[in-house]
Each structure stands twice: as structure tokens, then as C-alpha cells.
């Protein structure tokens, strides 16, 4: 199962290390998506997982497989 808070933390680490303003903006938006999903999950919203797979694909596209470690 994908942990949205762990994904947000990956984005945060990349934001801190990224010199490219455009990419940082994308990473910040992606991080916000993960935090929203985490909040929805903690609030018990029944459809919190509806877009997790699509957002994870975007995460992989933006950050690359090398950042992700083992597959989920």
C-alpha cells in the first residue's frame, strides 16, 4: 500500500535539493496532492484512495525510479 505521507516526504527532500524553480513548483504541487490524500484518509473519507495510482504514476514520472527505492 502506498503511504501518502512518505511520498510527500520524498517530494520535500527533492524540493530542498532542486535548483530548478519550475521543477520545484511541480514538486510542491505533487507534495500538496499527497498531503491532501493523507488528510482525506485520516478523516475517513471513503474515496481517499481513488486517485492514488494515478498520482503515484505522476510521482514516478517527476521524481524518477531512483528516488523511490523498492517498488510498492
Element holding 40 (H helix, E strand): helix 21-42
| SS3 label, residue 1 | coil
**Per residue in 50-66, is it b (16+ CB within 10 Å) or e — as a string?**
eebeebbeebeeebeee
Express each pLDDT in 10-34 by its tens digit.
999 999 999 999 999 999 999 999 9
Domain spans of the chain, in order of start = 4-64
Percent of the chain surpassing pLDDT 70: 89
pTM of the entire predicted model: 0.83
Tracing cell 528516488 back to the chain, one arrives at 67
Amino acid at each position: 500500500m502506498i503511504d501518502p505521507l512518505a511520498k510527500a516526504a520524498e517530494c520535500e527532500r527533492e524540493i530542498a535539493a532542486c535548483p530548478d524553480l519550475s521543477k520545484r513548483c511541480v514538486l510542491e504541487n505533487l507534495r500538496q496532492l499527497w498531503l491532501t490524500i493523507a488528510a482525506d484518509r485520516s478523516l475517513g473519507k471513503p474515496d481517499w484512495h481513488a486517485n492514488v495510482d494515478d498520482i503515484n504514476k505522476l510521482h514516478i514520472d517527476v521524481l524518477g525510479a531512483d528516488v523511490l527505492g523498492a517498488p510498492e
